């Protein structure tokens, strides 16, 4: 399901990246948050595919679905 997301301690300090490239999931999510569409992102960063953008969003949704407790 998330085969395009890679975590390698030797790449981007272990942050999740797209296919092991030096493009982080966080960077792609920030672009989406700034209003870029998947098409815009792929046009600006041709090494990416639309599926990469969608998997970054799926990964973020998976992380956000984790149960957390408030620390007071």
For 35-69, how does the pLDDT look when each residue is reduced to its tens digit (9 = 90+)?
A: 999 999 999 999 999 999 999 999 999 999 877 66
In sequence order, the 6+-apart residues with CB closer than 8 A to the CB of 38 are 50, 53, 54
Q: Which residue has the higher pLDDT, 39 or 72?
A: 39
Spatial separation of the C-alpha atoms in residues 6 and 59, rounded to whole Å: 11
17 backbone dihedrals φ, ψ, rounded to 5°: -125, 170
Confidence of residue 71 (pLDDT cuts 50, 70, 90): low
pTM, to two decimals: 0.86
What integer best gives the mean pLDDT of the chain?
Answer: 92
Q: Which residue has the higher pLDDT, 66 or 33?
A: 33
């Amino acid at each position: 399901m998330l085969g395009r997301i890679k975590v390698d301690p030797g790449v981007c300090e272990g942050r999740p990246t797209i296919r092991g490239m030096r493009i982080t999931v966080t960077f792609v999510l920030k672009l989406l948050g700034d209003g870029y569409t998947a098409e815009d992102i792929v046009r600006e960063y041709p090494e990416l595919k639309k599926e990469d953008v969608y998997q970054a969003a799926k990964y973020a949704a998976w992380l956000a679905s984790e149960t957390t407790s408030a620390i007071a």
